[in-house]
Amino acid sequence: MADVSLDQSLDHHAATVAARRHFLTRFVIYGLLVVFAAIYLIPLLVVVLNSFRDQQEIARNGLISLPRSFRLEAWGQAWSSYCIGGTCEGMQRNFYNSLKMTIPATIISTAVGAMNGYILSKWRFRGSEALFTCMLLGVFIPGQISLMPWAFILGNLGLSNSTYGLILIHVIQGISFTTLFCRNYYVSIPDDLIKAARIDGAGFWRIFRKIILPLSSPILIVTVIWQFTGIWNEYLFGVVFTSGQQQPITAALVALTASGTNVRAYDVMSAAVLIGALPPLLIYLFGGKYFVRGLTQGAIK
Amino acid sequence: MSNHDLILSTPAPARPWRERLGSAMPLLVLGPSLVASFVYVFVFTGWTLYISLSNSSLLPTYGFVGLDNYASLWANRRWNIAYNNLFLFSGFYIVGSMAVGLLLAILIDQRVRGEAVWRTIFLYPLAVSFIVTGTVWSWLYNPTDGIQAMVRGLGWTNFSFALASDRHYAIYAVIITGVWQSSGFAMALFLAGLRSVDSDLVRAAQIDGASTFRIYRKVLLPTIAPIFLAVAVIQIQFAIKTFDLVAALTKGGPGISTTFPAIYVYDLMFQRGQIGEGAAAAIMMLAALAVVLVPYSFWVVWRRRKEAGHG
């Protein structure tokens, strides 16, 4: 009898120890996750809150404090009336510049990449693998190597200080990436499908339209997201090859935050930073799955 | 009718033009990209290499001066600071973001609730530009408005956190921000790796009574070792190309304490009109990349061959 009860209590004891340990590890796991999440989210939160705070309140209480005021004016100023380097039009022009640069460059480089990928995976010829490897080298070349040649070429084409010049650069630079992505995806489409279509008399374009394209949406979404974020966020070429009103938003942001000589208008600058960060952030939030897929694919291959 | 007859009676063209065009189509479509990539990779690099060997100052000129630009580059104190910074930054940045990334990946791998939410939080900095990150963190580091001001406001009036404005420590401000930006990337890759490990391996270890810690150390982490290398190589690339982050965060300062090779190239080429030496610095960046990437790609090819041989 006594034995049995001892046994039971031991069992009971062991169970509570295990439960307590389980609870403790869960507590540590979630605790750490919360701490890191705070470290990641606080900078974003600080910027969002400050874009709605009153500038005087920020000056008094610092950037990191609970908001005691709420106003929307900073957003309006950042968008259309704040002065950067003498012109007082806010960020809107630079925002449009970035759109005018990013959308065409993304579409063109993705389309070209899809065609290249299709050819390099389904229409292989002698030496095509070697050519593919050469194209891949473009992924690794640092932008600094191409600055002087681009300056010369853009100057001769009359495209210096223009959005079109930047589109050209981003298309040429992007082709290596988009080709790599699409080629690695198309390789997994069975060759038999293509062979059967060819026997039925379908040609190069028909196979692309009827077989490849309908299967392409995952990789096209990944490529578009990757290219859009990359080009939107690019800074080096923007700051080197454009100035003032022609600058994309990244370059304008640096000019804006550098220009504050007296009191730093943190409220307006916060709104401006968010305007610059919003398009890629929205894409990330709505296309997160594809964003991560592009990341892991681009990295592992 | 007569037209039809004519074609039938003409013996010469074995293949109609459409078919011939059809077989040349792949090359026709690929051609422009090949030419563009060839120009971009080889002509541009050769061009910059040539400028680096010339006496170009404000504009490219083509008087050959041999390795003079490289000599004056390596004699320059600022370049040496940039180079040292690159080593310091690369080391801490890679180890830091891999450590944080691995920790986050393992935490998320413990069947936590709301996995997608955690992942989204840790990875979002990657969607945002280095310019945005650098700008915001420069505010946080600002002693009068940022973290230091906040802690002092809470009562610790002697608290000091002025990393970015101290020439000895500003590089660590860049490192912290870099780790913040990219450990999510390491996490995503590690997590993908952990998930791809054969679950039978883990189950076998569990049956043997191995603890979770032991399973990670002995089974999971060794299996995803190649991913460690891949992450490290990608981050070295980021480090060598670091430009935007520093431009927005410290502008290379205070003084010249956070100069990086990429910043130096930009400065020489576009602020000081020393194109020749700037090109030499750009070539040094390319050389640094090659030192990392060439052995790595050989290793990857070798490993694939080996796997193919076994499989």
CA distances from B194 to B64, B187, B189, B197, B252 (A): 54, 10, 9, 6, 38
Q: What average pLDDT does this structure show over B107-128?
A: 91
Give dist(CA B16, CA B6) in Å, integer. Answer: 14
Q: How many CB atoms lie within 10 A of CB B55?
A: 16
Here the tokens at position A133 are 């490897």
Q: What average pLDDT does this structure show over A231-258?
A: 90
Task: Tell me where in chain B the CATH 1.10.3720.10 domain(s) lie.
Answer: 77-310
Give dist(CA A31, CA A28) in Å, integer. Answer: 5
Give dist(CA B136, CA B146) in Å, integer. Answer: 10
The reply to whether A60 and A150 lie within a common domain is no
CB < 8 Å from B in window 182-241 of A: 203-205, 229, 232-236, 239-240
Q: Looking at the complex, report in whole angstroms how far the Cα of residue A300 sits from the nearest Cα belonging to chain B.
A: 7
Q: Which of A230, A221, A227 is closest to A293 using CA atoms?
A: A221
A294 part of a folded domain: yes
The reply to whether A120 and A238 lie within a common domain is yes
The reply to whether A19 and A126 lie within a common domain is no
Q: How many CB atoms lie within 10 A of CB A214?
A: 8
Q: How many CB atoms lie within 10 A of CB A218?
A: 12
Q: Which CATH number fits domain B77-310: 1.10.760.10, 1.10.3720.10, 2.40.50.100, 1.10.10.10?
A: 1.10.3720.10
Q: Which of B82, B153, B88, B270 is closest to A240 using CA atoms?
A: B270
Can you name the residues that pair with B64 across neighbouring β-strands? B54
The reply to whether A44 and A168 lie within a common domain is no
The reply to whether A183 and A293 lie within a common domain is yes
CA distances from B140 to A47, A253, A262, A266, A293 (A): 10, 17, 18, 12, 32
Q: ω before B13 within 30° of 0 (cis)?
A: no
Instruction: Look up the domain containing A67 and give its range.
Output: 2-71
Here the tokens at position B298 are 């050989």
A46 part of a folded domain: yes
A81 part of a folded domain: no
B37: nearest CB among A64, A135, A258 = A135
Q: Looking at the complex, report in whole angstroms how far the Cα of residue B52 sits from the nearest Cα belonging to chain A.
A: 11
Q: How many CB atoms lie within 10 A of CB B92?
A: 18
Q: Which of A285, A283, A274, A284 is closest to A72 using CA atoms?
A: A274
pLDDT band at B283 (very low <50, low <70, confident <90, very high): very high
- Per-residue pLDDT for B3 more than 50? no
**Structural domain count, chain A:** 2
* Stronger pLDDT, A83 or A238, i.e. the higher one: A238
Q: Which of B15, B20, B25, B41 to mutate to test the interface with A (most CBs of A within 10 A)?
A: B41
Cβ of A63 within 8 Å of Cβ of B139? The answer is yes
The reply to whether A14 and A99 lie within a common domain is no
Q: Looking at the complex, report in whole angstroms how far the Cα of residue A116 sits from the nearest Cα belonging to chain B.
A: 6
A179 part of a folded domain: yes
The reply to whether A58 and A134 lie within a common domain is no
DSSP assignment, residue B255? Answer: T
Residue B283: which H helix or E strand, with range? helix B275-310
Counting every residue written for chain A, the total comes to 301
CB < 8 Å from B in window 241-280 of A: 250, 253-254, 257-258, 264, 266, 269, 273, 276-277, 280
Q: What average pLDDT does this structure show over A170-186?
A: 92
Contacts of B270 in chain A (CB under 8 A): 240
B139: nearest CA partner in chain A: A63
Here the tokens at position B129 are 């530009």
pLDDT band at A138 (very low <50, low <70, confident <90, very high): confident
**The model's pTM:** 0.88
Q: Looking at the complex, report in whole angstroms how far the Cα of residue B219 sits from the nearest Cα belonging to chain A.
A: 21
Give dist(CA A73, CA B154) in Å, integer. Answer: 29
Cβ of B36 within 8 Å of Cβ of A175? The answer is yes
Cβ of A258 within 8 Å of Cβ of B251? The answer is yes
- A262-276, B16-30, B51-65, B209-223: the lowest-pLDDT one: B16-30
* Stronger pLDDT, A282 or A296, i.e. the higher one: A282
Here the tokens at position B69 are 């630009």
Give dist(CA B209, CA B204) in Å, integer. Answer: 9
Give dist(CA A220, CA A146) in Å, integer. Answer: 27
The reply to whether A124 and A61 lie within a common domain is no
Give dist(CA B311, CA B307) in Å, integer. Answer: 6
Contacts of B144 in chain A (CB under 8 A): 62
Q: Which of A144, A243, A262, A274 to mutate to test the interface with B (most CBs of B within 10 A)?
A: A144
The reply to whether A160 and A219 lie within a common domain is yes
Assess A173–B contact: CB distance below 8 Å, yes or no.
yes
Cα atoms in the Cβ-side hemisphere of radius 13 Å centred on A293: 16
B30: nearest CB among A36, A43, A116 = A116
Q: What average pLDDT does this structure show over B247-251?
A: 89
Cβ of A300 within 8 Å of Cβ of B189? The answer is yes
Assess A179–B contact: CB distance below 8 Å, yes or no.
yes
Convert the pLDDT of each residue in A195-228 to its tens digit: 888 888 888 889 999 899 999 988 999 899 989 9
Convert the pLDDT of each residue in A13-30 to its tens digit: 777 888 888 888 889 999
A230 part of a folded domain: yes
ipTM for this prediction: 0.88
B41: nearest CB among A64, A134, A281 = A134
The reply to whether A153 and A7 lie within a common domain is no
Angle between helix axes A92-122 and A128-140 (nearest 10 degrees) is: 160
Q: What pLDDT is recorded for position B8? A: 43
pLDDT band at A261 (very low <50, low <70, confident <90, very high): low
CATH number, domain of A187, equals 1.10.3720.10
Task: Tell me if B128 sits within 8 A of A233, measured CB to CB.
Answer: yes
The reply to whether A7 and A133 lie within a common domain is no
Assess A44–B contact: CB distance below 8 Å, yes or no.
yes
A62: nearest CB among B47, B145, B269 = B145
CB < 8 Å from B in window 127-146 of A: 131, 134-135, 137-138, 140-146
Convert the pLDDT of each residue in B185-244 to its tens digit: 999 999 988 988 888 888 888 888 888 888 888 888 888 888 899 899 989 988 998 899
| Residues A21-45 as b or e (16 or more Cβ within 10 Å = b) | eeeeeeeebbeebeebbeebeebbe
The reply to whether A172 and A263 lie within a common domain is yes
3-state secondary structure of A201: coil
Cβ of B47 within 8 Å of Cβ of A148? The answer is yes
Among candidate residues A71, A106, A122, the one where a domain is terminated? A71
Here the tokens at position A75 are 């957003």
